[in-house]
Every structure is written in C-alpha cells, then in structure tokens.
Amino acid sequence: MMHKIVLITGATSGIGEATAKILAEKQYKLILCGRRQEHLQKLEALLSSKTEITTLTFDVRNKNAVFTAIESLPDSFKNIDILINNAGNAHGLDSIHEGSIDDWDAMIDINVKGLLYVSKAILPVMVGQQSGHIVNIGSIAGKEVYPKGNVYCASKYAVDAITQGMRIDLNAYNIKVSEINPGAVATEFSKVRFKGDIQKENNVYEGFEPLRASDVANLIWFIISQPKHVNIAESLILPTAQANATTINRK
C-alpha cells in the first residue's frame, strides 16, 4: 500500500503536533513544518520509528522561504497528497481603535497570506496529479464576530472565503478542500494572544473543559481518511461547554 504524503504547517505545537502524532500512528508519510527547528527535531525523533518523516523550518509569512523550503523536499516527499494549513495565530484582544498595527499585520500575514503562500507552492503538484486534499484550519471566529475580535475574526473569515473559493476552483481537478472551525482549544493560542500575561491566559479556560489539541487532530484524521468520493467540506467543533463564540458554561 502506498502511504499518502501529508504536509502539516505549524507542527511544532498544539493542533499541528497532535495531528503529526496521530497520523504517524496511521503511517502517513509526514512533512512537518514550523519555525522552531529544535521542536521539529524532537518531534521527528519521537515519531520516526513509526513512519517516514522529513522536516522543513520556515516562517509562513516569508514567501521566498516557503517556496525555497518546499522546492528543497527530497524526491520521495515531493508528491504531496494532503496539505494541512494549520499555522495560525491571534495577537491581542483589543477594541479596533486601540489595536496594534503590528498585531494586525501578524494575523493577516500568518493566517491569510501564509496559508495562501503554502497552498500556492503545493497546488501545482496536486493539479498535476489530478488529486489531493487541502484541510484549512479556520475558527469559530470565522463564523461569528465577537467583541474585540475584529481583525482576528476578519482573518478567519478570509480563511473561510478562501476555502470556499479553493473548493470551486479546484473542483475540476478532483482536489478535496475541507475546513475545520474549532471553538475553545487549550493550546499555545492564548499564550500568544495575551503575550505571556498568565492571568489573562488562565482566565480563558477557567471553569470549563476546553477541547484538547488531540480532539481536533482526531477530526482531521477522520476527514482525510474518508473514501475518495466523500469530502467533509466543513466542520465546527466545540467543547460541550461552549454554545457559540461568546456563550460558555463556566462552573
């Protein structure tokens, strides 16, 4: 059996790392990408007994680095079957008139442009193969805007629109395009958003059980393991305590 080749961005922590662990168990061949080389090397050491793995260190914001890294893949990893656009971030939680332009740039550059750069680098392979699967990690913030979410929500609404556009444009090439929109997941997300403010970070998940990264990773595995004629186009995954972006049952 030919093992499918999966490229995962943002594989150094959170959902990306959890997905790598699950897919290694299922013996997919993995291309693990991220900015922190030492994290990638540790993950490769942990999982290389289960499957073939290679790593690429680059920042999705840097388009030249994206294309150079992906072009450098060894021949045995070039024919990518599945792309998981997982790299993303939230910076700050401020009213629009108080927001930091640097924070806005970071969210748009990573969540929107980074996703586009990686997809652009890989799509010629999928189009040439007349097959493939792209899984974009969106957010509940791409379905409803919440107070102080402004630019972060805008970036995830963009992911939603790009996903729909991809699905239409790639339909003729038998390429599946799926989107997963998680609610509250306990990852480094809040650490980044609140820039190390432990109190604010802890408040996010206080009084309820959030999703774990492995819960989202299980859903990714379920989506990519469907038969050829099935595409789970969109999925919203929430912890039981969460009803929408702002309604959380805290004890």
Q: Could you confirm whether 146 is annotated as catalytic?
A: no
Domain with 60, as residue range(s), is: 5-237
Q: How far apart, in whole angstroms, are the C-alpha atoms of residue 160 and residue 231? A: 16
Which is more confident, 187 or 4? 4
Taking alpha carbons only, the member of 240, 194, 210, 215 closest to residue 137 is: 215
pLDDT of amino acid 201: 78
Q: Looking at the domain assignment, is residue 83 inside a domain?
A: yes
What six digits make up the tokens of 89? Answer: 């971030």
Q: Looking at the domain assignment, is residue 244 inside a domain?
A: no
Q: Crossing angle for the helix pair 63-71 and 115-129, nearest 10 degrees?
A: 30
Q: How far apart, in whole angstroms, are the C-alpha atoms of residue 3 and residue 29? A: 6
Number of Cβ within a 10 Å radius of residue 102: 10
| Chain segment 1-40, per-residue pLDDT in tens | 569 999 999 999 999 999 999 999 999 999 999 999 999 9
pLDDT of amino acid 190: 75
pLDDT of amino acid 25: 97
CATH number of the domain at 172, please: 3.40.50.720
Q: Is 113 helix (H, G, I), strand (E, B) or coil?
A: helix
The domain total for the chain is: 1
Strand partners, 177: 134
> Is the pLDDT score of 242 beyond 90?
yes
| Chain segment 113-152, per-residue pLDDT in tens | 999 999 999 999 999 999 999 999 999 999 999 999 999 9
Given the residues 152, 157, 173, 205, select the one marked as catalytic: 152
- 242: which DSSP letter? B
What six digits make up the tokens of 94? Answer: 């401020």
Q: Looking at the domain assignment, is residue 53 inside a domain?
A: yes
Q: Looking at the domain assignment, is residue 243 inside a domain?
A: no
pLDDT of amino acid 194: 82
pLDDT of amino acid 89: 93
